[in-house]
Structure 1
Amino acid sequence: MSARRTTGTAMAEALAANGADLAFGIPGTHNLELYRGMAASGIRHVVTRHEQGAGYAADGYARVTGRPGLVVTTSGPGLMNAMAAMGTAYADSVPLLVLSPGVPTGLERADYGWLHEMKDQRAAADAAVARSVRPGTPAQAVDAVHENFARWAAERPRPVHIEVPLDVLEAPWDGEVPGPWRAPHPPAPSRAAVTEALGLLSRAAAPVIVYGD
């Protein structure tokens, strides 16, 4: 691993700890720290010609493997290019984790002229995914990775976006990366409820089962 450890390299380690081994995306000016630790963490990266292609490739990976797809974009237009795939994944309940940098802390809505600056990138992404979060510290950024994998184990799997402020993404990281969070048990009916339902079905003359979302 590179001698220089940052929040970005710690996030790569957290992804690997949760079983991520393949990412799709396009390197850019602001997201290089997300890539810095990938190779050393055993995560292979596929460069696509367009971020929308990265999103749909990750979507396909998730559908085929049953594992969350990983997308890495740069800020602004790079993230917006992936939103069509993010919206499709939301509608079809496909787990995607989309990582992008964001404007540095304190420049939110500042109209500062920062490269790839948007008025509110996180809010734009939030309209297409289950949730879009903006961690404020290195520890929160790593925790956001662990949290999403844990929640996917028990909740409806839908895409999530993590926007890491550039100053947080590039901040030095010292120490170990916490391991994956213990996933909560998925909600399930009690044995008594299942027995009662079976009894009702066995006595029904013309049972009808409605299954789906």
Structure 2
Amino acid sequence: MTAPGDPGPTATGGPGVTGAGALVAALASYGVDTVFGIPGTHNLAVYQELVKAGIRCVTPRHEQGAGYAADGYARAGGRPGVAVTTTGPAALNAATALAQAYSDSVPVLLVSPGVPSSHPRQGRGYLHESKDQSRALDAVCAWSHRVTSVAEIPAAVARAFAFFGEGRPRPVHIEIPVDLLDAEGTAGLGPPLRLSRRAPDPAALD
């Protein structure tokens, strides 16, 4: 697995890569070989790409179980755990596990689709619509981000893994609008973000 700060692949995908393809390529570049989650209407494109990439998909009975399984994977193996859910209630089902990971400083990445990029989020009855999914999960994560383009997806994954290596490796969340998962665009991987690892003041420790 590529550690944050180590040189990584310089490019992947290219013109015509889908958002789901860009996501899975970015995860694979960090050595992700297992994800926990439940396929649903809005994330099937992600699971298709996971299968193509040979990444193992573990399916629990509930999204909360997916979050706790990713947490346990990280604790047992020392590598970030990754969970993939579908939108709205499914993503929020994983929030309990993320809150525990935050409390215990465990590196967990939750990836979930969100309402389409053109959707106004005004309670118009879109399937699994929530008022503000990313903001809700930001309350229990170190960082939650909704991407706005296919090209932004690899950068969001890079930032997520940089968070794991910067300080306390707490959980993070990436939301990808469902329309971007099938949309085609240009997406490349650069070297992982290099953030300085935080260290306590020795005087404060004394």
Give TM-score, length-normalised by structure 2: 0.85
Please give the secondary structure, in 1, of the residue aligned with 2:67: helix
What is the deviation of 1:108? 3.7
- Number of residue pairs matched? 191
Structure 1: runs of 5 or more not aligned? 198-208
Alpha carbons of 1:144 and 1:183: their partners in 2 closer, same or farther (altered >3 Å)? same
Please give the secondary structure, in 2, of the residue aligned with 1:99: strand
Contact in 2 for aligned 1:96/1:159 (Cα 8 Å)? yes
Q: Structure 1 residue 91 and structure 2 residue 112: aligned?
A: no
Q: Structure 1 residue 121 and structure 2 residue 142: aligned?
A: no
What is the deviation of 1:150? 2.2
What is the deviation of 1:36? 2.0
Residues 1-213 of structure 1 mapped to structure 2, 5 A cutoff: 5-174=17-186, 177-188=188-199
Mapped to 1, the partners of 2:104 and 2:157 lie a distance apart of: 22
- Of stretches 70-79 and 119-128 in structure 1, the one that deviates more from structure 2 is 119-128
What is the deviation of 1:121? 1.1
Please give the secondary structure, in 2, of the residue aligned with 1:37: helix
What is the deviation of 1:167? 1.5
Please give the secondary structure, in 1, of the residue aligned with 2:113: strand
Q: Which residue of 2 aligns with 1:205?
A: none
Cα RMSD between the aligned structures? 2.2
Contact in 1 for aligned 2:158/2:193 (Cα 8 Å)? no
Mapped to 1, the partners of 2:17 and 2:108 lie a distance apart of: 26
Contact in 2 for aligned 1:23/1:46 (Cα 8 Å)? yes
Give TM-score, length-normalised by structure 1: 0.82
| Bigger relative CO (Cα 8 Å, ≥ 6 apart) | 2
Mapped to 1, the partners of 2:124 and 2:113 lie a distance apart of: 16
Mapped to 2, the partners of 1:156 and 1:128 lie a distance apart of: 14
Contact in 1 for aligned 2:107/2:171 (Cα 8 Å)? yes
Alpha carbons of 1:182 and 1:160: their partners in 2 closer, same or farther (altered >3 Å)? closer
* Larger Rg, first or second structure (1 or 2): 1
Contact in 2 for aligned 1:102/1:165 (Cα 8 Å)? yes
What is the deviation of 1:188? 5.0
Cα deviation per residue 1:157-184 (whole Å; 9 max; x = unaligned)? 011111111122221145x631441433
Alpha carbons of 1:152 and 1:84: their partners in 2 closer, same or farther (altered >3 Å)? same
Mapped to 2, the partners of 1:111 and 1:78 lie a distance apart of: 18
Please give the secondary structure, in 2, of the residue aligned with 1:152: helix
Cα deviation per residue 1:66-93 (whole Å; 9 max; x = unaligned)? 1110000000111111111011001111
Alpha carbons of 1:179 and 1:43: their partners in 2 closer, same or farther (altered >3 Å)? farther
